[in-house]
Amino acid sequence: MPTYRAPIRDFQFALKEWLNIEQYSGKVSGFEDLSFMDAVLEEGAKYCEEVLFPLNQLGDEQGLKHVKGDDGFNKVILPDGWKEAYDQYVANGWGSFACDTAYGGQGLPNVLNTPFIEMVCSSNLSFGLLPGLTHGAYSALHHFGSDLQKAKYLGKMSTGEWSGVMCLTEPQAGTDLGLITTRAEPQSDGSYNITGTKIFISYGEHEAVPNIVHLILARLPDAPAGVKGISLFVASKYNVDDNGEMGTRNNIDCGSIEHKMGIHASPTCVMNYDNAKAWLVGEPHKGLKAMFTMMNEARILVGIQGLGIGQVSYQNALAYAKERLQGRALNGAVFPDKKADPITVHPDVRRMLLTMRSFAEGGRILALWIALNVDLEQRLEDGDAKQEAEDFVDLMTPIVKAYLTEGGTTMASLAVQTHGGYGFIKEYGVEQYMRDCKITEIYEGTNGVQALDLVGRKMPQATGRLLRRFFHPAQQFVDENKDNEALSEFTKPFYQGLKSLRQASLWIAQKALANKEEAGAASVDYLRMFSLVAIGYIWAKSAKIAVEKLAQGTDEKEFYETKMATAKFFLNKILPEHFSLLAKITAGAKYLEMPDVKVA
Apex CA 385: angle with CA 380 and CA 391, to 5°?
A: 105
CA nearest 41: which of 105, 87, 101, 97? 97
Q: At what angle do helices 465-481 and 384-419 cross, to 10 degrees?
A: 80
CA distances from 189 to 46, 61, 144, 193, 201 (A): 49, 47, 21, 11, 28
Enumerate long-range contacts of 140-144, CB under 8 Å, 24 or more apart.
140/166, 140/215, 140/232, 140/281, 140/290, 140/291, 140/293, 140/294, 141/213, 141/215, 141/234, 141/281, 142/100, 142/103, 143/290, 143/293, 144/232, 144/281, 144/282, 144/290, 144/293
CB-count exposure of residue 41 (10 Å: 0-12, 13-18, 19+)? buried
CA 30/CA 47 separation, integer angstroms: 24
CA 373/CA 387 separation, integer angstroms: 10
Beta partners for residue 254, in sequence order: 271
CA 50/CA 293 separation, integer angstroms: 33
List CB contacts of 597: < 8 A, sequence separation 6 or more. Answer: none
List CB contacts of 207: < 8 A, sequence separation 6 or more. Answer: 75, 76, 77, 78, 83
Active site residue 245: no
List CB contacts of 8: < 8 A, sequence separation 6 or more. Answer: 38, 41, 42, 45
Q: Which helix (H) or strand (E) holds 211?
A: none
CA 575/CA 423 separation, integer angstroms: 28
CA torsion sign, 449 to 452 to 457 to 458?
positive
Catalytic residue among 205, 388, 390, 444: 444
CA distances from 485 to 63, 304, 348, 481 (A): 56, 35, 30, 9
Q: At what angle do helices 384-419 and 287-323 cross, to 10 degrees?
A: 40
Task: Answer for the pair 185, 195: CB distance below 8 angstroms, yes or no.
Answer: yes
Give me the active site residues, please. Answer: 444
